[in-house]
Structures are given as C-alpha cells and as structure tokens.
Amino acid sequence: MSTQGGASASPADMVLSDDGVPLKTKLRRAERMRKITAFGLVAPLLFFVILVFVVPIAGMLWRSIDDTEFRKIMPQTVAALADWDGKDLPGEPAYRALASDLSAARENNSAIMVARRLNYDVNGLRSVVMSAARKADASAENIKDSFISLDPRWGQIETWGAIKRARGPLTSFYLMSALDMSRDATGSVHMAQGDRAIYIDVLIRTFRISLTVTLLCLLLGFPVGYLLATQPPKIANLLMILVLLPFWTSLLVRTAAWVVLLQNEGIVNNLLIWLGIIDKPLRLIYNAIGVHVAMTHVLLPFMILPLYSTMKSIKPHFMRAAASLGAPPAVAFLRVYLPQCLPGIAAGCLLVFILAIGYYITPALVGGAADQMLSYFIAFFVTDSVNWGMASALGAVLLGTTLALYAVYNRLVGGSGIKMG
C-alpha cells in the first residue's frame, strides 16, 4: 500500500489496463469491493451476535462491579467518609452528612435504594435506614447520639463499614461475596465462615454434577454412536430417529416424564417391586440420583451426534487391516479405532459439559434442596430477591471458571482435536 506513488515503484505498478488506470490499483479496487461484499454478508450476523451476545454479557459483567447509585443519593456521606480509616466510629460531621442525605433521599423517594444496597451487605439495615430516613433531622444537636438512640446499629462500626463499601463507583463487594469473601470496615479481606460460606461449595457441586453427567453421557453414548455408525443405513436411520425424537422434545416435558417414571409409585419402582428385587420403593427422585438421570438423558444426544459423525468417517478397513496384522480385537479397538474417535469424544464432552454447567430447570424439578446448581442461585437473585449485582457476580464467576476450564481443556486436547461433525 505504502509503495503507491513511491520512487521505487515496481514495474507492475506501471502496467496499465485499457482505461489507463494502473492494473494494481484496479486489482486493489476489485479486492476492496469483494471484501466489502463479504463483510456485508457477514454484517447481519455480526450485528446480531454483538447485540444479543456481547452486549448483554458485557452488561452483566459491568453490573457485577458497578456501584454508582449509592453515591448519587448520598454524596455528602460518601465525601465525609473519604478519610475514615474504619477503626473507630466516624465523627459528628459524618452523621450530619448522613442525616442531610437521608432527608433529601426521603423527599425524592430514593431512600429505599440506599436501604436495599446496605441490606445486601449487612442484614437488617433495610428497616434501620428507612426509619432513619423518616426521622433524621440534620439540624439536631449531638446528632451522633440521636442517631444511636434511634437504633443502636448506628453506633456499630460494621454499619459504617457497609456505607463505606457501598461508596462506589466500582465495587468488589458482589464478586467477593460470590467467592465467599468479605471486607471489614478497615478494608482487610476475610473468608466467610460457617453458614455464610456457600458459593464455593455450590460452584464445586455444579462442576461435580456436570462432570459426572458428561462421563455418564460418554459411557452411554459411545456404544450408541458406534452402533449407529456401523449398522446398515436402514437400521441406522431408524435408530437415529430414536435418538433425535427426544432431542426435539421440550426439555420440560422430558423432565416431567422422569418425575412420572422415578417417583415413589412410579413405573421404575413398581417394576422393581413386582420383580421382587426390592420390597420398599427406592428414593430415585428429588435427590442427586434424579438430577443425574434426568440431565444425562436430556444431554445424551449432544454426545451421540458428534461421536456418530466422527465414527462414520472412520473407514471399516482400518480395523480389518489391524486384525490382519495380528491385533486382537481389544488391541485393535484401543490402538486403531479409539484414537480416531478422539475428536468426536472431545467435542461431545465439551458440548455436554458446557451445557450442563448452566442447567437450572432440571435440577430444580427433579433435585432436592441440596442438589441445586449455581444457576439456581442466579435465578434466585434475579427474580426472588432482585439483587442483580449478586446475580451478575455469580454469573461472572461461572463464566470465568468455565473459560478457565476451557483453556485447560484446549491445552490438553488441542484446539484442532475437537470436531463437531
């Protein structure tokens, strides 16, 4: 590009086409047109992806660290706490700023935002703040004492720590809570203890269930894929329909069907009792068994389809060649067939695992209270408690750990080793 018009122009630049324009310029023009057309064709998809994928995810990540609302409503308090070290209660001026901010907030009905934000952090502050907003009088003398007599919580450092943590404009509060961590008023970090340490356990549970389901899918899906790939087309097509029919059925319907099958007086239990294998119904649902069974069933096609397409491309004469060279069937399978299946296995496992991580409705309907995965808590914070900061932070944690796992997986399997079909 930079050579155009330069002194050292090569002879090719000098070649002119019919209308006197240098050939290279014309070629470049044609090339540019082609690129624009190509981009024009891709543009709708690109626009779509940006609009419904990139923007919402960026918005979610932003929400998990955004904390600008509080400082807008409570500017004086935030300013008064700028130099506070969190070791002792702040002085009169901070209480006066608080009173004046709260009465202004009451006027324009925004005190509830402050109350809600502080209640996320310290449980119970919601009503403390609302009643202070109703009663606070910024002109009172001894304003600190009058606040403390209103509610003893105003005399606790933790209350002011919560205000300090909410000062924004960015916060690590939600993300730290999602990782069972918290800061005290002086700013030092603590791990949550006992009953408050929950989300790391849930994250581990989410990955444990997803991994188990992936392995179950592989164990069940591999023989099916093999069968599909090796049978004559007539039988294979019929079998394929059996795989695809459930795939096309709504997830909710399939989950509900498992309720019917697995419940106490369900078909499975009745059959086992009738056969005399058990005398009392087994508990197969509303616990971990139900979650694993239903999720494995729902996700099985995502394993079978990539496996099938990979196996289909493996020529049968490879195995025959191995046999003719003296390999027993097991060795031929392990050393000739299985390595060629690896791209399909890798793709199927990745697909199933990533889908499983985000599962919400199936564990909610067939699992017990102890089998809920991280998405359950995200849904809880979105709809039940309307704490979107926390929901976003949990989403960000899930996204982050999934990407990290994917990176490790990619390193192990190698990017080219994955084949979707």
Residues that bind another protein (CB under 8 A): 109, 111-112, 115, 119-120, 123-124, 126-127, 130, 195-198, 201-202, 205, 263-266, 286, 364-365, 368-370, 372, 377, 380-381, 384-387, 390
Nearest approach in angstroms of CB 239 to another protein is 33
Which lies closer to another protein via its Cβ, residue 263 or residue 309? Answer: 263
What are the DSSP E strand ranges found in 259-408? none
Nearest approach in angstroms of CB 17 to another protein is 35
Q: Which residue has the tokens 């079998």?
A: 239
Which lies closer to another protein via its Cβ, residue 224 or residue 373? Answer: 373
Which lies closer to another protein via its Cβ, residue 179 or residue 327? Answer: 179
Q: How far apart are CA 277 and CA 338, in angstroms?
A: 37
Q: What is the CA radius of gyration of the chain?
A: 32
Nearest approach in angstroms of CB 96 to another protein is 24
Residue 419 CA, chain-centre distance (Å), reads 23
Which DSSP letter does residue 211 get?
H
Nearest approach in angstroms of CB 31 to another protein is 28
Nearest approach in angstroms of CB 85 to another protein is 28
The DSSP annotation for 131-172 comes to HHHHH--TT-SSHHHHHHHH-GGGGSHHHHHHHHHT--SB-S
Which lies closer to another protein via its Cβ, residue 372 or residue 375? Answer: 372
Nearest approach in angstroms of CB 128 to another protein is 9
Which lies closer to another protein via its Cβ, residue 245 or residue 271? Answer: 271
CA distances from 1 to 5, 28, 46 (A): 10, 9, 28
Which lies closer to another protein via its Cβ, residue 68 or residue 237? Answer: 68
Nearest approach in angstroms of CB 390 to another protein is 8
The DSSP annotation for 393-414 comes to HHHHHHHHHHHHHHHHHHHHH-
Nearest approach in angstroms of CB 397 to another protein is 15
Which DSSP letter does residue 382 get?
I
Q: Which residue has the tokens 């943590």?
A: 165
82, amino acid identity: A
Which lies closer to another protein via its Cβ, residue 296 or residue 387? Answer: 387
| Residue 354 token pair | 């990533």
Contact call for residues 390 and 172 (beta carbons, < 8 A)? no
Which lies closer to another protein via its Cβ, residue 130 or residue 418? Answer: 130
Which lies closer to another protein via its Cβ, residue 162 or residue 229? Answer: 162
Residues 6+ away with beta carbon under 8 Å from 96: 80, 138, 143
Q: Which helix (H) or strand (E) holds 41?
A: helix 23-49
Nearest approach in angstroms of CB 141 to another protein is 29
- Angle, helices 338-357/388-413, rounded to nearest 10 degrees: 170
Q: How far apart are CA 416 and CA 405, in angstroms?
A: 17
